[in-house]
Chains A and B, each alone.
Chain A
Amino acid sequence: MEEIRSAYLDETLDTVRAADFLQYRSKDLPTWCPGCGYFGIVDALYRACRELDLKQENIVTVSGIGCSGRTPIFINTYGFHTLHGRSIPVATGLKLAREDLTVFAVAGDGDALGIGGGHLPHVARKNINITFLLFDNSIYGLTKGQSSSTTPHEMKTSSHPAGNPDTPLNPIRLALAYGASFVARGYAGDPQGLKDIIKNGILYQGFSFIQILTPCVTFDKENRTWKNLKENVVDLTPRMEEKNMETAMRLAQNEPHGVGIFFWDKKRPHYQEILRNLNKGN
Chain B
Amino acid sequence: MKRNHLYSKEEKLFQDKNKIYSAQSVKQIVYSTDARDFGQVATSIPCQEACPAKTNIPGYIRCIHEKRYGRAYELNRSANILPGVLGRICSRPCEFVCRHGEPDNGLSVAICHLKRTCADLKPVSHRIIEGLYAPTGKKVAVIGAGPAGLAAAHDLAVLGYRVVIFESMENPGGMLMYGIPEFRLPRDLILLEINNILRMGIQLETNTAVGSDISLDQLGKEYDAVVVATGCVSPRKLDIPGQELENVHHGLEFMKAVNEGLTPFVGDKVVVIGAGFTAVDCARSAVRLGAADVSINIRKTGEYMRIDDSEKHEAQFEGIKTYSLIQPSKIIGKNNKVTGIEFKRTGMEKIDTPPYRISVPIENSEFIVPTDSVIAALGQTPDVKKVSTRFSGLDKKGHQTGIPGIFAAGDFVTGSSDVISAIAGGRKCARVIDAYLIGEKRKQTVVRLENHVTTDRPRSHDFIDRVGMNTIDMKERLFKSTNEVETGYTDDQAHEESKRCYLCNLKYEIDPLACIYCSACIDVAPKDCIKMIADVPVNPDGTYGEYRETDDWNAVVSIAIDHANCIRCGQCLSVCPMDCISVTKTELIEIDT
Binding site for B on A (CB under 8 A): 1, 4-13, 15-17, 22-23, 25-30, 32, 34-37, 39-40, 43, 74, 76, 188-193, 215, 217, 226, 230-235
Contact = CB atoms under 8 A, between A and B. Distances in A.
Contacts of B474: none
A282 B395 CA distance: 100
Interface residues of B, number: 50
Nearest to A191: B516
A277 B592 CA distance: 80
Interface stretch (B29-37, B372-380, B494-502): B29-37
Interface in B26-52: 26, 28, 30-32, 34, 36-37
Given A30-B553, A34-B518, A193-B7, A13 B578 contact: no
Given A189-B577, A192-B7, A4 B520 contact: no
* Among A34, A76, A217: residue with most chain B CB under 10 A: A34
Nearest to A73: B553
Given A6-B584, A12-B511, A35-B518, A28 B553 contact: yes
B86 interface: no
Contact of B1 (A26, A36, A37, A230): A230
B556 interface: yes
Nearest to A44: B516
A26 B517 CA distance: 14
B544 interface: yes
B535 interface: yes
Contact of B554 (A25, A40, A188): A25
Interface string B508-526: 0101110011111111100
22 contacts: A4-B21, A6-B30, A9-B509, A12-B20, A12-B512, A12-B513, A13-B512, A15-B512, A22-B555, A27-B554, A28-B553, A29-B553, A34-B520, A36-B518, A40-B516, A190-B6, A191-B7, A193-B5, A193-B6, A226-B577, A230-B1, A232-B1
A22 B1 contact: no
B492 to A, nearest CB: 38
Interface in B1-18: 1-3, 5-7
A192 B6 CA distance: 8
Nearest to A6: B23
List the 8 closest pairs (A to B, CB-CB), nearest first.
A35-B520, A34-B523, A39-B518, A25-B554, A40-B516, A226-B577, A34-B520, A6-B23
B469 interface: no
Contacts of A13: 512, 535-536, 557-558
A35 B523 CA distance: 9
Contact of B575 (A5, A35, A191, A233): A35
Contacts of A34: 518-524, 575
A74 B553 CA distance: 8
Contacts of A231: 1-2
Contacts of B518: 32, 34-37, 39-40
B320 interface: no
Given A10-B544, A13-B512, A4 B551 contact: no
B80 to A, nearest CB: 29
A5 B32 contact: yes
Contacts of A26: 553-554
A14 B555 CA distance: 13
B30 A5 contact: yes
Contact of B21 (A7, A9, A10, A233): A7
Given A4-B30, A22-B556, A27-B554, A11 B20 contact: yes
A149 B566 CA distance: 43
Given A8-B34, A39-B517, A40-B578, 10 more contacts: A5-B30, A10-B544, A13-B535, A15-B20, A29-B519, A34-B518, A34-B521, A43-B517, A189-B516, A193-B5
